[in-house]
């Protein structure tokens, strides 16, 4: 099936970098990473009303004065926090607001200002995943870390006392035991939380989450055995919707799943997810771990609920084969393939790293007790191992959730449909796999954040272009649309439009861009 859709111009500038030279006295004094942060800060839109998140953003920098003296006075005048002074180098460490970086560098007594970059000798698996999807490039070059974005996790709770999660859990609600204080007796939710927003404090940053600036709203719906009821999950979803303005909840992570026993048009769980999407919250769900049947053979049709619904962003798992080079990544054999049962929808939407992901753990949890060989020590002195290595689409989903927090940080006006389209359009297709195995392809965080910025009308940054080849297609319903560009103003991205619709509620034809469309009929690509 082929049809043409009107083409709308959109600048897809996959570039990032430094500020052009002008008469600014700071020119030449800021390194490329800080120059990019200054440009991003200047173009940043105001936070939406009702957000409880801080709007200021700080960078850890090294300041060198012309005469080598401490820069304490100028750092304080810039609203920063002076740190350690190195007499032998004539430099001083400081935390400085991004909005004041140009002012500080422009002072005549300042020789130069540099980003205080992280240095490490080894690469752990969680860090490896963040590197290969481009999340570390975003943090270091753009300073985008999800600051102020509320992420709700519906899971087994959270160990808020973990040093990597300290200060990141702003609210907790228990739909299992009605406890008031945060806890995680199973341990799954703590692992998910660390993938999204862990600081990496116990590992010198090696196990830092994808969006360490985001704040977490932990909603407990699974018990000590990792089991629960869909009614608890539904109650948690509705709770997130009710409190979305209070905590600026923009993303909802569901690393939980149920069997598909009815159409997504009737399933209370998928309909609850739809209410969240209609409220402007992007719902991310694990595809499930049913990629192989009882006989060990590859099977299709194993997508779980609520990931079978078109309005949900459904994530399968990729396996990095133990390297940071994404060129050898494969679809994890256990990752559920489409089409969805009963409705026959093309799923998953995307794949992301989900094998041997190392993240935060609670030493008193059931998962910690059951997995002694998967425990991992950090670099900080702790009584028990602070990390655990786990595998599953439950781990892949929060990787994408963290990236979405970065995207919204870069462009707060993004809708759930726009977010899904950008993620699919910038994903990298893995050769040898069909769309019912990998969706649009492997997550590309750098490309997604860069395209999110252009959706906001921000100028392209000047740096080497994204080395990852974008898929330049989206899977709209059961149709794969090859696109020259995405139109930021297309009606397909409006809240209230269901992913896959052919027209809006007002009868307007759905628009995305110029396309070549072919049908992905259920089961056609087995």
Q: Catalytic residue numbers?
A: 155, 188, 394
Which tokens sit at 10?
């959109």
Q: How far is Cα 303 from Cα 313, in angstroms, rounded to an integer?
A: 12
Helix 393-410 and helix 445-455: axis angle, to 10°? 30
Helix 416-426 and helix 393-410: axis angle, to 10°? 110
**Residue 105 burial by Cβ neighbours in a 10 Å radius (0-12, 13-18, 19+):** buried
Helix 393-410 and helix 188-197: axis angle, to 10°? 30
Q: How far is Cα 169 from Cα 348, in angstroms, rounded to an integer?
A: 29
> Phi and psi for 154 in degrees, rounded to 5?
-105, 105
Which tokens sit at 302?
């194993």
- Beta-bridge partner residues of 251: 151, 282
Tell which residue, 357, 358, 391, has the closest CA to residue 377.
358
Rounded alpha-carbon distances, angstroms, from residue 131 to 138, 377, 482: 10, 21, 28
H-assigned helices in 332-415 = 366-370, 393-410
Find the angle CA(496)-CA(253)-CA(272) to the nearest 5 degrees.
Answer: 45
> Phi and psi for 351 in degrees, rounded to 5?
-120, 155
Cβ–Cβ < 8 Å for 39, 16: no
Q: How far is Cα 395 from Cα 193, in angstroms, rounded to an integer?
A: 10
- Tell me the residue length of the chain: 526
Tell which residue, 181, 162, 127, 188, has the closest CA to residue 384.
162
**Residue 263 burial by Cβ neighbours in a 10 Å radius (0-12, 13-18, 19+):** middle
Which tokens sit at 403?
């990236």
Q: How far is Cα 24 from Cα 447, in angstroms, rounded to an integer?
A: 30
**Residue 118 burial by Cβ neighbours in a 10 Å radius (0-12, 13-18, 19+):** middle
Tell which residue, 311, 315, 322, has the closest CA to residue 356.
322
Tell which residue, 509, 518, 206, has the closest CA to residue 380.
206
Q: How far is Cα 32 from Cα 28, in angstroms, rounded to an integer?
A: 9
Q: How far is Cα 229 from Cα 9, in angstroms, rounded to an integer?
A: 46
> Phi and psi for 253 in degrees, rounded to 5?
-100, 125
Cβ–Cβ < 8 Å for 513, 487: yes
């Amino acid at each position: 099936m082929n049809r043409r859709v009107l083409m709308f111009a959109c600048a897809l500038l996959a570039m990032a970098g430094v500020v052009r030279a002008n008469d600014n006295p700071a020119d030449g004094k800021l390194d490329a990473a800080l120059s990019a942060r200054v440009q991003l800060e200047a173009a940043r839109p105001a936070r939406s009303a009702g957000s409880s998140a801080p709007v200021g953003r700080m960078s850890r920098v090294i300041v060198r004065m012309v005469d080598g003296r401490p820069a304490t006075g100028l750092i304080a005048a810039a609203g920063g926090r002076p740190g350690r002074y190195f007499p032998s180098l004539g430099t001083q460490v400081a935390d400085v607001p991004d909005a004041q970086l140009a002012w500080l560098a422009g002072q005549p007594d300042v020789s130069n200002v540099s980003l205080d970059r992280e240095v490490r000798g080894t690469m752990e698996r969680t860090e490896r995943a963040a590197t290969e999807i481009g999340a570390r490039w975003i943090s270091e070059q753009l300073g985008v870390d999800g600051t102020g974005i509320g992420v709700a996790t519906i899971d087994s709770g959270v160990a808020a006392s973990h040093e990597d999660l300290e200060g990141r859990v702003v609210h907790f609600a228990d739909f299992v035991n009605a406890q008031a204080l945060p806890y995680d007796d199973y341990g799954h939710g703590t692992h998910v939380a660390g993938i999204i927003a862990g600081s990496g404090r116990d590992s010198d940053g090696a196990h830092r989450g994808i969006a360490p600036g985001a704040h977490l709203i932990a909603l407990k719906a699974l018990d000590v055995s990792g089991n629960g009821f869909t009614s608890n999950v539904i109650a948690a979803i509705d709770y997130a919707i009710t409190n979305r303005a209070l905590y600026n909840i923009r993303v909802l992570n569901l690393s939980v799943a149920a069997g598909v026993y009815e159409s997504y048009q009737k399933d209370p769980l998928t309909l609850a997810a739809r209410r969240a999407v209609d409220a402007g919250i992007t719902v991310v769900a694990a595809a499930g771990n049913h990629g192989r049947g009882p006989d060990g053979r590859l099977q299709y049709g194993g997508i779980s609920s609520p990931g079978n619904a078109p309005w949900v962003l459904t994530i399968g798992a990729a396996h990095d084969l133990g390297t940071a080079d994404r060129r050898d990544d494969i679809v994890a054999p256990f990752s559920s393939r489409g089409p969805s049962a009963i409705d026959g929808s093309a799923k998953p939407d995307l794949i992301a790293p989900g094998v041997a992901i190392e993240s935060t753990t609670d030493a008193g949890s059931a998962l910690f007790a059951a997995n002694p060989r998967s425990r991992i020590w950090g670099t900080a002195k702790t009584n028990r191992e602070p990390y655990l290595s786990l595998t599953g689409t439950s781990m892949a989903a929060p990787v994408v959730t963290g990236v979405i927090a970065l995207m919204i940080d870069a462009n707060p006006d993004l809708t759930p449909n726009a977010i899904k389209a950008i993620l699919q359009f910038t994903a990298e297709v893995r050769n040898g796999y069909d769309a019912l195995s990998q969706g649009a392809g492997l997550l590309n965080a750098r490309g997604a954040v860069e395209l999110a910025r252009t959706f906001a009308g921000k100028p392209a940054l000047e740096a080497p272009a994204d080395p990852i080849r974008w898929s330049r297609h989206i899977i709209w319903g059961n149709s794969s649309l090859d696109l020259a560009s995405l139109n930021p103003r297309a009606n397909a991205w409006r809240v209230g439009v269901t992913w896959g619709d052919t027209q809006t509620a007002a009868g307007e034809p759905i628009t995305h861009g110029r396309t070549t469309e072919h049908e992905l009929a259920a089961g056609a690509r087995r």
